[in-house]
């Protein structure tokens, strides 16, 4: 979870995790636009050593909430570690 929060803050250029972090949606903070959304995928891939397929990125664009994207990233991570 901390890796995801750190990646999010890095990409969005935020000093701290926003309030109601898990409930945020793309566009709910001014920094989160479509370009930074794609950069978030890239940062998560690098940081967590996972790869999202084009289909997965399309499915998660836009995510309902940050929590949805975080869940998808950690599900991918757990599948890769088996």
Report the percent of the chain where pLDDT is more than 70: 96
Tally of structural domains, the chain: 1
CATH number of the structural domain spanning residue 52: 1.10.1200.10
Range of the domain at 18: 2-80
- For the stretch 14-48, pLDDT in tens is 999 999 999 999 889 999 998 999 999 999 999 99
For the cut 90, the answer to whether the pLDDT of residue 77 exceeds it is no
pLDDT at residue 62, as a whole number: 84
Tokens at 11, concatenated? 């990409």
**How far is it, in rounded angstroms, from Cα 40 to Cα 81?**
21
pTM of this prediction exceeds 0.85: yes
- What pLDDT is recorded for position 42? 96
d(CA 49, CA 38): 16
């Amino acid at each position: 979870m901390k890796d995801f929060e750190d990646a999010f803050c890095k990409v969005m250029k935020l000093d701290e995790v926003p309030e109601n972090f898990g409930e945020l949606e793309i566009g709910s903070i001014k920094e989160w636009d479509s370009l930074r959304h794609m950069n978030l995928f890239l940062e998560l891939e690098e940081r967590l050593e996972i790869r999202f397929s084009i289909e997965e990125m399309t499915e998660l664009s836009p995510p309902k909430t940050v929590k949805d994207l975080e869940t998808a990233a950690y599900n991918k991570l757990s599948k890769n570690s088996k």
